[in-house]
Amino acid sequence: MEFPLLVIQTRYTGASPESVEREVTKKIEEQVNTVEGVKQIQSTSTEGFSTIIVLFNLGTKVMDAQADVRAKIDAIRQDLPEDIDPPVISRANPSDQPIFVLSVLGRGWALRDLTRLADEVVSRRIENISGVGSVTVVGGLKREIHVLLLPDRMNALGIAPDMVARAVQRENGDVPAGRVEQGNAENLVRVAGKIRDPQDF
């Protein structure tokens, strides 16, 4: 019997995890959730990449479900960012399981700081190991910074809220800059531009 599970992967190069979540993952999830037979949806949004796992009820014809999911995504293509790669919808193989699970612990560390360590240091170093296909960080606590606007000041300058949102999004991202080969190792290079502290705004 075929395993009733689909994986939807979408690359959004240079986008922050928050942008990927808001502009890609959530929109696709809302559409896919209306497909007949969907039992559960799980997703992760990382820097430049969206992964959505869709579990269907047992007995669902996965090939038909895959076609339905493709049609749903095609219907909202104009609502997704123009510069994303076409979403890839694949049928999952039960043998595609993680070969290694690493827990990050730290006595006296805040959960937010441990999450940042796992995202920005541990996962990236593992990604650089030859033969590693992918690394997924699960759990943790994502930090949020709330930006409060000054309506009177914005009106005086002729600035709309969406202009501020676009400016923040544009300036808040670690941009991939290729790879550097060093001996037998190949390292990913990123230009750090993500806002770390409130005063950076």
Which domains, from first to last, does the chain contain? 5-91 (3.30.70.1430), 98-144 (no CATH), 145-201 (no CATH)
Distance (Å, whole) CA 4 – CA 61: 7
| 98 CB neighbour count, 10 Å cutoff | 10
Distance (Å, whole) CA 168 – CA 201: 8
| 10 CB neighbour count, 10 Å cutoff | 23
Q: What is the pLDDT of residues 45-65, one digit of tens each?
A: 988 889 999 999 988 999 999
pTM score of the predicted model: 0.50
Q: What is the pLDDT of residues 140-194, one digit of tens each?
A: 666 667 788 899 998 999 998 888 888 877 776 655 556 666 666 656 555 555 6
What is the predicted pLDDT for the residue at 187? 60
What is the predicted pLDDT for the residue at 128? 84
Q: Stretch 10-39: mean pLDDT, rounded?
A: 92
